[in-house]
Amino acid sequence: MRINQDRRRFLSTAAATIAGLEVGMLGATKSLVRGIGIAGDSELRALRGATAWLNTPPLSADGLRGKVVLVDFCTYTCINWLRTLPYVRAWAEKYGEHGLVVIGAHTPEFAFERDLENVRRAIAAMRVPYPIAVDNDYAVWNGFSNQYWPALYLLDAKGTIRFTHFGEGAYDQSERSIQQLLVEAGAGAFSTGGLGQPGIGRDLSRLGPSGALRPQRNALATERMDTRRRLDARQQGRHIAEAGRQDRLSISRA
């Protein structure tokens, strides 16, 4: 699938870029800053292309004007997004009263992720409290020119993209950017301390032993993991097919 290939291509490219630009930064994804000084809310206007909304009535660019907005592209079976979810959830809870609006843009990778009831059940099971734009037609995805899961876009009160990050990691930098834009927007006093790993580790109990964050995999390890999963799935399929063939032979002999 094209999107899957793009994701793996990004991981490989990111690893090479980090090695070349920041010696010593291993296993991290470089945050990308774009759009600074370019006013407008053209990306947020893509929200009108959402096919459904969960946890909220439909949101619009006009209604979000004056708010700091974090758009998080996700799909509910993506393990990389699942590892970022506790942080995004915590930011929504911590900064919501200070003017931050978190929006999850659920853009499906697989056919079953297009089923609204599947998405609804997954979002409820994962305790996602913030608005979710169901992006089955890729309208929001294309409006942001996005290519990756997970992808974080932070927009200031004028609707300008001020910070982006693709993949896992950079949680402290992301939170500092949220705080900076809230201060610029005139938010009231709030704690400037970061969330830190211990404060949210319990939310990851299903992702690692004792609720701890699992180490981030580098591009090669991720590629090997994807390949192993595909081989395991094929092997399982062969076992099922062979079992079915044996059953048919037993019936015909009887």
**Per-residue model confidence as pLDDT tens for the chain (254 residues):** 445 545 544 444 443 343 333 322 322 333 333 444 444 678 999 999 999 999 999 999 999 999 999 999 999 999 999 999 999 999 999 999 999 999 999 999 999 999 999 999 999 999 999 999 999 999 999 999 999 999 999 999 999 999 999 999 999 999 999 999 999 999 877 776 666 553 343 333 333 333 233 333 334 344 444 545 555 555 555 555 565 556 555 555 65
The DSSP annotation for 2-20 comes to HHHHHHHHHHHHHHHHHHH
The CA distance from 242 to 240, in Å, is 5
> Which pLDDT value is given to residue 52?
98
Residue 37 vs residues 158, 183, 184, 198, 223: alpha-carbon distances, Å: 10, 17, 14, 36, 37
What is the reported pTM? 0.65
For the chain, domain boundaries: 31-211
Structural contact between residues 176 and 62, judged by C-beta atoms closer than 8 angstroms: no
**Residue carrying the six token digits 């032979």:** 249
> Which amino acid type is present at position 136?
N
Any idea how long the chain is?
254
Query: What is the pLDDT at residue 214?
Result: 36
**DSSP annotation of 32:** B
The CATH number given to 31-211 is: 3.40.30.10
Look at the block and give the residue holding tokens 């929200």: 47
